[in-house]
Amino acid sequence: MTRWFAVLFLLVAGIARADEGMWTFNNFPSDLVKARYGFAPSQEWLTKVRRSTARIAGGCSASFVSPNGLVMTNHHCVRECVQQLSTPQTDFIVKGFYAATAQQERQCPAFEVNKLVDITDVTAELTKATQGKEGAAFRDAQRAEIARLEKACATAADIRCDVVTLYRGGMYNLYKYQRFQDVRLVFAPEEAIAFFGGDPDNFEFPRYDYDVSFVRVYQDGKPAKVDDYLRWSARGAQDGELTFVAGNPGGTSRLLTVAQLTYQRDYALPERLFQLAQMRGMLDEFQQRGPEFTRISNNLKFGVENSYKALVGRREALVDRDFFAKKVAEEQKLREWVKADATRQQRFGQAWDNIAKATDTLREMRLRLRLLEQSAGAGSDLFGYARALVRASEELPKPNEQRLEEYAEARKPELEQQLFSPAPVYPKLEEALLTFYLTKLREQLGPDDPVVKKVLGKQSPRALASKAVSNSRLANPQVRRQLYTGGAAALGSSKDSMVELVRVLDEEARAIRKRYEEEVESVADKNGELIARARFEAYGTSTYPDATFTLRLSFGQVKGYQGGDGKPVPPFTQVAGLFERATGEDPFRLPPSWLQAKPRLELQTPFDFVSSNDIIGGNSGSPIFNKDAEVVGIVFDGNIQSLGGEYGFDESVNRTVSVHSQGILEGLRKVYNARRLLEELGQGGGG
């Protein structure tokens, strides 16, 4: 065996080990599954599963579970809708929601469900459009071709088309979706049971969460009819059983270069964690002002705490010397294989160094990029509306191919749904968020920075935030619609205080974004394509691409693991354990409905369970099902060891955490008496 064949063997041997992989549906390793579990998914099976699953725009997954447009997902995937439908008098986050009749189903203010209907390989088109181009020319050509392809595909308002970059630029696919924007809430349990254990139990196991909800998609004012949907398993998940997860993992970084991983470890992650910690502190103080302050900010705080714990896990993976050394070794092996051949070296050899230089540029500009563009406004809805309006007035008159990507013709339905949403805006929370943002802008760029001086003048961050919020009319969706349809003339003459604030910032924000796209993003994209081609030449498409918030399929089995203390962790929890863990105090306080139902519950019913499926954030709400495509549960989390899954997969300890299908039914029957829902699921209506 030659040295270089040995290197290639090591490369191939390290790919797609065991249950690892979030596979695309057009490159699923059925033979690998058969070799490991004795079952080979057919093309017919894959097509049915693909058509039965869904994506929730904004970051979650879901599945169709009846022919009448009923969609199952997590409570934490619909909690924003639940909060938006709530009032100070009726808080559905606390009380829960169940539509006992069709007339009681409530439309979510801004909610989109996507059903994947087709995948087309457009690698040749993108490669031809960008061939021989570098920097700004590469980025402009790529953006123009993507806009052209998406516009040609999106032939109606209910069709969504996205060009997806796979293998860090080695392949491009055009994903065509059926878009549903009339989405109505059917069932959501109380947050106290959906997120039982709160932040202390988050990303942990054993677990006792009833993190499931149901919505329905409508077409032309009626429940949508779907031909493909997942049926319910009679038994639910069994120990050792082969399981599949179909969902939309948001993003992984397993194919990043060492230079990019180093940047994540040393700069991006620590700074983001510091920002989240400060945001959490601000929200803690905000919630001390009273119950209504808590209600209107709970959804935001949930997201902040969830992100913080997830990012801590990611950074712990990167600071682990052995783990990082493996990533260095993997890259070095591929680079040695490239270097061994003069032709390969000429084609691919400089790609890693070019990305490293671009990463140095990113490190230098990162603060301004984050503060002026990526995190501007710190989550303020009014600031977000104002920026969208200002930029829409400038971008929409341009030819489609020259616009910022979020204003391309194919993206307009999503833009307009968000912009015209009737969701409530909370002035006190807006002031707090904007004060936080302006304070950090001054703190991190310095009081003498030209942008800071231009924005604040002689005002304090709090005074400017108060003025911007109180003098803005953008909380009214009709005002936003008038400004949007009025275009540049309406925005140019607008004296709205939030619009004026955005105008002051936007020139500098656009400039730093342009520099980032030309000097960092385009370089990473171009050279990422070269590295991807080197990988393809080394070992073909025998591996899976990084996650891209597009539909993927993973396989695994119901399986416990060894905990950090060396003790075995069984794969199941039971309903009985829920009551044993309850303390009566948050976050281990059970809602009255569950306490009252205890005498009726079968306490040995499986509640939550773990499996070895490979998932990441974005898979929340994914169905987990058996070889017969029957639902055995719903994914809602990963264990603490899985957080390093951003960068790699360890089958011995990485686990997916799901609500067991029998636990779901037990709650619907004996706690919520959800007869209509049970009948639609084909599970009878027993009370």
| Beta strand pairing call for 568-569 and 222-223 | unpaired
The answer, yes or no, to whether residue 83 has pLDDT greater than 70, is: yes
pLDDT digits (tens, 9 = 90+) for 317-354: 999 999 999 999 999 999 999 999 999 999 999 999 99
- Quick one: which H or E segment has residue 171? strand 171-180
522-539 and 135-153 helices, crossing angle to 10° = 80
Q: Are 62 and 53 in contact (CB under 8 A)?
A: yes
Given a cut of 70, whether residue 78 has pLDDT beyond it is yes
Whole-number Å distance between alpha carbons of 342 and 47: 43
What's the confidence (pLDDT) of residue 540?
Answer: 76
Cα gap 475→458, rounded to integer Å = 27
Nearest to 176 by CA among 163, 185, 166, 165: 163
The string of pLDDT tens digits covering residues 88-105 is 999 999 999 999 999 999
Q: Which residues are CB-contacts of 668 (< 8 A; sequence separation ≥ 6)?
A: 187, 674, 677, 678, 683
Mean pLDDT, rounded, for 410-424? 96
CB 379 within 8 A of CB 433: yes
pLDDT score of 110 more than 60: yes
Q: Residue 433: pLDDT above 80?
A: yes
What is the phi/psi pair of residue 293, to 5°? -65, -35
pLDDT at 17 over 70: no
Q: Yes or no: say if 418 and 388 are a contact pair by the CB < 8 Å rule.
A: yes
What is the reported pLDDT for 539? 78
pTM for the whole structure: 0.94
The b-or-e profile of 646-657 (16+ CB within 10 A means b, else e) is: bbbbbeebbbbb
Rounded mean pLDDT of 504-532?
96
Share of the chain above pLDDT 90, in %: 94
SS (H, E, C) 573-620: EEHHHHHHHCCCCCCCCCCHHHHHHHHHCCCCCEEEEEECCCCCCCCC
Phi-psi region for residue 96, left (φ > 0), alpha (ψ -120 to 50) or beta? left
Burial (CB count within 10 angstroms: exposed 0-12, middle 13-18, buried 19+), residue 569: middle
Contacts of 221 (CB under 8 A, 6+ apart): 182
When pLDDT is averaged across residues 131-145 and rounded to a whole number, the result is 93
Average pLDDT over residues 28-40: 96
Q: How does DSSP classify residue 562? A: E
Question: Could you check whether the bond before residue 41 is cis, i.e. omega within 30 degrees of 0?
Answer: no
Per-residue pLDDT at 6:
32
Per-residue pLDDT tens digits for 47-68: 999 999 999 998 999 999 999 9
Residue 635 has pLDDT above 60, yes or no: yes
Structure confidence at residue 149 (pLDDT) = 97
pLDDT score, position 18: 72
What is the pLDDT averaged over residues 204-226? 98
pLDDT at 385: 98
Helix (H, G, I), strand (E, B) or coil at 382: helix
At residue 218, what are phi and psi to the nearest 5 degrees? -120, 150
pLDDT given for residue 543 in this prediction: 85
What does residue 636 show for φ and ψ, rounded to 5 degrees?
Answer: -135, -10
Overall average pLDDT of the 417-437 stretch = 98
Q: Is the pLDDT of residue 687 over 70?
A: no
Mean pLDDT of the chain: 95
Tens digit of pLDDT for each residue in 236-282? 999 999 999 999 999 999 999 999 999 999 999 999 999 999 999 99
Is 8 a residue whose pLDDT tops 80? no
| pLDDT score of 135 more than 90 | no
Strands 242-247 and 623-625: antiparallel
Which amino acid, 127? Answer: T
d(CA 302, CA 280): 9
Per-residue pLDDT at 685 exceeds 60: no
**pLDDT score of 311 more than 60:** yes
Average pLDDT, integer, range 164-174:
94
Q: Is the pLDDT of residue 611 over 60?
A: yes
Q: What is the pLDDT of residue 375?
A: 95
Average pLDDT over residues 486-494: 95
Question: Residue 109 CB: number of other CB atoms within 10 A?
Answer: 18
Summarised one tens digit per residue, pLDDT across range 538-559 is 977 778 999 999 999 999 999 9
**Cβ-count burial of 432 within 10 angstroms (0-12 exposed, 13-18 middle, 19+ buried)?**
buried
